[in-house]
Amino acid sequence: MSVTIFHNPRCSKSRQTLELLKSNGVEPNVVEYLKQPPTSDALTIIINKLGVNVRDIIRHKEAEYKEVGADNKDLTDAELIALLVATPKLIERPIVVNGEKAVVGRPPENVLDII
């Protein structure tokens, strides 16, 4: 099993999700996405695995949301993905990927569905 968590160590939900994975015997590949943002292609693949719209993984309450124009309803998915890559703080966290499956760890117990 190759599990990856897109992790922010400053986020309590992200820390809880990582701990839940480990307590279930999973040693995930930890990607601190604020330091190593995914590429546009990688983020597109993750969104497809999540089975959601790109807007569903945007953190709307962050100040950067309006600052970078992510609130513009006319932006295409490709434009939104480019904004997320450039401003990874706006990506919902944590995201856990296991093969062809992915979930957002909010609540952390969501990861139990894919491990």
Residues with active-site annotation: 11
Least Cα distance to 8 among 96, 111, 115, 109 occurs for 96
Q: Cα–chain-centroid distance for residue 8?
A: 10
Between CA 103 and CA 16, with CA 100 as vertex, the angle to 5 degrees is 30
